[in-house]
Structure 1
Amino acid sequence: MIHHREDARMGLQAPLWRAVTVFRGAALVYATVLMLAGSREHTRPWLGWTVLAAMVAWTVVTGVRYHDPAGRRWTWLTADLAVTLTCLLVSMLVVPAERLAAGGATLPMAWVAGVVLVWALRGGRRAGGIAALIVGAADLFLRGAVTSATVNGTVLLLLAGGVMGYVSRLTDDAEARLQRAVELEAATRERERLARGIHDSVLQVLALVQRRGTELGGEAAELGRLAGEQEAVLRSLVGVHDTAAAAGTADLRLLLGRYGSPRVTVSSPATPVLLPAAVAAEVAAAAGSALDNVTVHGGPAARAWVLVEQEPDAVTVSIRDDGPGIAPGRLAEAAASGRLGVAQSIQGRIRDLGGTVAISGGPGQGTEVELRVPVPRLG
């Protein structure tokens, strides 16, 4: 995985490496023009042309080598720096000393900036700065004194290394975002595949159990009823996924409306109650758990009423039933004994959303569960 990401990063930086090769070619043309113009003043013109030929050959070699991500290794970059310094320092054998001291052109001139750019591209701003300082120190040694030429040249090299290092970091960030986007797309496709599988298999089985249980009657009818409720819950979850994929939001009224039945009355506003799809799914699941508790503790004849209220900054869902109510301390006793239905399925879900849960009611008075969640900013 590490090598894969490194190769992907290098691939994303490929245009920058090509740009450095183009820069070196242009700088080589400039060095050739200066050689033609000043060769009469050179002490060893033949050596100057030899250095220029070496620069041409090295530009071709590095251009080919750096085109392949495998060739962008520090061994090659170190060799690149050594060749650049050699071409620069040979200038003292070709260009008169007094001309160099006065700020005259060296043999490679701007060509030396190429190695600073590749170091910054490969290792970031720090590596680019190191290469710039090394080249600047060699230029200072060559001229023998601190002049405006040495100062300006070093500053420009530092700026070039800093800018290229910054661009290199931007490409790293872009590659990381691209990697996360690819992983998110893969996860989304996997969820869609699972949703299709659920729709084609599990939901059909639950629907069959509901139908056959109703036909058989007795205890089988109760089993069929439970299967039907679970089918509705599962369909709502699959529906939430589809809504989230399409728009990123879901209408809480529609999710809670699936719980409606002859014994469950759902009341909601006339306008959509829009929440982020994941938030709406968790609120609906918590409400479904509360309705399951109504059946478990109140029996199949217990009735429930679900009320949805929308406020500017929050949404409240109240689930009230006419069951036997909750004895004092029963929730704490259930949690202590390991029965965490309310603590996890209801309170845990809403707590994770930054909301609150209020449970009230006493023996013979029914139970009311109030779910209140803040409304996140959409868009």
Structure 2
Amino acid sequence: MQQGLQAPMWRAIGAYRITSLIYVAVLIVRNVDQYANPLATGPVFALMVGWTAFATAAFARPQWRRWPLLIVDLAVALAVVVAGPFVIGQTALSDGVPTLAVTWLGAPVLTWAVSGGRRRGVAAALVLGAADISVRDQLHPSTLNGLALMLLAGFVVGLVARLAVEAEERMQRAIQLEAATRERERLARDIHDSVLQVLALVQRRGAHLDGEAGELARLAGQQEAKLRMLIADGPAGPPPAEEGDADLRAVLGRFASDTISFASPATPVLLPSRAAEAVRAAVNATLDNVSRHAGQHARAWVLLEDDTSTITVSIRDNGPGFPPGRLEEAASQGRLGVAQSIRGRIADLGGTVEIFSTPGDGTEVELHIPRP
């Protein structure tokens, strides 16, 4: 558990230990004449003083807040509870004389709650409360009230501690996001002043040329558009429904360029991050096939659709297409780009791939991904 926002809680528990010990001392001075063994009060109180000093210093160190120290803290409190009937006597306890520990018992409950949340705090309260009840020969309402207060303290303080941890984690993510955004802006300025201007110049100077020079100019224009999208792409759209999800609109939208059109719904299309990455890789492999086979005038259209049970990604191009049986022939020759890069990735998600192509009419690839 993170320690930043919890540090004031640990300091407060230390202050509580010292204050409750002073209260115990006042009660001992006031009631010692009613104790069955008043001389035994000294060793027990000395144990409480020594442990209060040690525990206050030990719990101030984050690396020491582990199970061994927590268990010893609870054991010392149990020892004081068990010693109560011997020092005070059952008769005095039955007459309403306070136990030796009284409010000092709350410190282990608080440490367990802050270190592990409400469940651990409630568990410590139940252990101490059961021990306090077991050493009495009869049950008083004040005993039940003390148990109820310890249970409430363990639950509430544990809940607050857990919320503090979650708040600190969110704050840390926000700080990292802000730092990444600033770095992206810095890189964007540097790239704009150098790489983008060169790519734009190459595209303008070579746009009217034929042959390889014209092809290089076209590729420079595509890379300029993709690079602009990359450096401008930040956390877009609403936050994901749950941690680990990704919006396919943002993931696939990065393919948009002057030769690739992208259309998507107005609302987020969420998939787990790993599934979204597999879909992106399959679409990337499909678009690579388009650029490789459709020539310098190739264009592609990517359409993202979402319904209640299935997400569909359609990729259509204006390339030459291919005759029936061509994919099977390529697979038999060991060329497994479609079989592995596209079909394999979507099959791993439980989906299917449909490919429609006619010579001279381009190709359309449909990826059907079921919702998890």
TM-score, normalising length from structure 2?
A: 0.65
Instruction: Decide whether aligned partners of structure 1 residues 203 and 357 sit closer, same or farther in structure 2, where only a CA change above 3 A counts.
Output: farther
Contact 1:353 1:373 in 2 (8 A): no
Shift of 1:326: 0.8
CA contact (8 A) 1:356 1:373 kept: yes
Instruction: Answer yes or no: is 1:111 the counterpart of 2:104.
Output: yes
Shift in CA distance, 328/203, structure 1 to aligned 2, threshold 3 Å? farther
Residues 277-325 of structure 1: CA deviation (Å, up to 9, x unaligned):
999999999878766655643444x56574869898778756352x543
* Residue equivalent to 1:3: none
Q: Is the 8 Å Cα contact of residues 78 and 131 (structure 2) preserved in structure 1?
A: no
In 2, the alpha carbon distance for the partners of 1:344 and 1:191 equals: 34
Alignment partner of 1:152 is 2:151: no
Aligned mates of 1:274, 1:29 — CA distance in 2 = 64
Q: Find the aligned partners of 1:373 and 1:93 in 2 and give their Cα distance.
A: 75
Go from structure 1 to structure 2 and tell me whether the alpha carbon gap of 1:234 and 1:373 turns closer, same or farther (over 3 Å shift). farther
* Residue in structure 2 matched with residue 325 of structure 1 by the alignment: 321
- Equivalence for 2:244: none
Question: Per residue, is there more helix in 1 or in 2?
Answer: 1
- Cα distance in 1 for partners of 2:191, 2:112 equals 53
Match of 1:100 among 93, 107, 111: 93
Equivalent of 1:224 in 217, 220, 225: 217
Q: Secondary structure at the match of 1:137?
A: helix
User: C-alpha offsets along residues 20-44 of structure 1, whole Å, 9 cap, x if unaligned?
Assistant: 2343344335434433543443456
1:65 to 51, 58, 71: 58
Partner of 1:20: 13
Query: What pairs with 1:255-274 in structure 2 (closer than 5 Å)?
Result: 258-260=257-259, 274=266
Q: Secondary structure at the match of 1:67?
A: coil
Give the secondary-structure state (helix, strand or coil) at the position aligned to 2:16: helix
After superposition, the Cα gap between the structure-2 partners of 1:307 and 1:88, relative to the gap in structure 1 and judged at 3 Å, is: closer
Q: Distance in 2 between matches of 1:284 and 1:350?
A: 10
- Note closer, same or farther for the CA distance 1:360–1:96 as it changes in structure 2 (3 Å cut): closer
Contact 1:291 1:304 in 2 (8 A): no
The answer to whether the Cα contact below 8 Å between 1:132 and 1:161 also exists between their aligned partners in 2 is no
8 Å CA contact retained: 2:253, 2:262: no
1:140 maps to which of 129, 134, 151: 134
Counterparts of residues 1-379 of structure 1 (less than 5 Å): 9-42=2-35, 48=41, 52=45, 55-56=48-49, 58-81=51-74, 83-92=76-85, 94-122=87-115, 125=119, 129=123, 132-133=126-127, 136-137=130-131, 140-141=134-135, 143=136, 145-148=137-140, 152=144, 155-156=147-148, 159=151, 163=155, 164=157, 203-204=196-197, 206-207=199-200, 209-210=202-203, 213=206, 217-239=210-232, 241-242=233-234, 244-245=235-236, 258-260=257-259, 274=266, 276=268, 293=289, 296-300=292-296, 306=301, 319-321=316-318, 323-337=319-333, 339=335, 342=338, 358-363=354-359, 365-369=360-364, 371=366
What displacement does 1:104 show?
Answer: 3.1
Cα offsets for 1:78-117 (capped at 9, x unmatched): 5544543454455445434411245531222221232233
How far apart, in 2, do the equivalents of 1:245 and 1:96 lie? 70
Is the contact between residue 262 and residue 301 of structure 2 (CA under 8 Å) also seen in structure 1? Answer: yes
Bigger Cα displacement from structure 2, 275-284 vs 91-100: 275-284
Q: Shift of the alpha carbon at 1:69?
A: 1.8
> Partners in 2 of 1:96 and 1:11 — Cα distance?
45
Q: Is the 8 A contact 2:82 2:131 kept in 1?
A: no
Distance of 1:74 and 1:252 partners within structure 2 = 44
1: distance between equivalents of 2:168 and 2:327? Answer: 50
CA RMSD of aligned residues (A): 5.2
User: Counterparts of 2:252 and 2:82 in 1: how far apart (Å)?
Assistant: 78
Indicate how the Cα distance of structure 1 residues 338 and 278 shifts in structure 2: closer, same or farther if over 3 A, else same: farther
Q: Aligned partners of 1:148, 1:327: CA distance in 2, in Å?
A: 91
Q: TM-score, normalised by structure 1?
A: 0.64
Q: State the distance in 2 between where 1:129 and 1:219 align.
A: 75
CA deviations on 1:319-353 (whole Å, 9 max, x unpaired) are 352x5431112123334545455557766788899
Equivalent pairs counted in the alignment come to 355
Q: Is the 8 A contact 1:209 1:224 kept in 2?
A: yes
Percent identical pairs in the alignment equals 42
Take 1:34 and 1:359, find their aligned partners in 2: how far apart are those partners? 85
Change (3 A) 1:101 1:162: same
Give the direction of change, closer, same or farther, for the CA distance of 1:95–1:288 in structure 2 (3 Å limit): closer
Q: 1:369: how far off? A: 1.4
SS of match in other structure, 1:360: strand
Describe the shift of the 1:299–1:137 C-alpha distance in structure 2 as closer, same or farther (beyond 3 A). Answer: closer
Structure 1: give runs of 5+ residues left out of the alignment: 1-5
CA drift at 1:129: 2.9
